Amino acid sequence: MIPQHPHPAGARATRLHAALALAFPDAEIAVRDDSHHHAGHSGARPGGETHYAVRVVWSGFQGQSRVVRQRAVNVALAEEFASGMHALAIEAKAPGEG
């Protein structure tokens, strides 16, 4: 489970949270910057903000497959991938799902 950060640190984390909130209204959203775990790896940058984990719990995911949910999150964050985000771990669930 990704710890919730109501006010994520870092410019990209803030943008990720805002983009997810826009795409998934009334969702429970958590964003975590995991870049420090990937220092020296492919795609990592000295300033960080390249590797993230997000958790989105949204009623609109009810009845959708895991693949459909993850695609929706990736679409919502496409601009961040285009601007240098390298990796994203996604947990996308409907309310009441484990």
The pLDDT score that the predictor gives to residue 38 is 47
- Give mean pLDDT, residues 73-94: 93
Q: Is 6 helix (H, G, I), strand (E, B) or coil?
A: coil
Percent of the chain with pLDDT over 90: 58
Domain range list for the chain: 11-93
The single residue listed with the structure tokens 């020296």 is 40
On whether the 11-93 domain is CATH 3.30.300.90, my answer is yes
Tell me if 97 sits within 8 A of 71, measured CB to CB.
Answer: no
Residue 31 has pLDDT above 50, yes or no: yes
- Give mean pLDDT, residues 37-61: 73
- Give mean pLDDT, residues 30-42: 70
| Other residues' Cβ atoms within 10 Å of the Cβ of residue 25 | 9
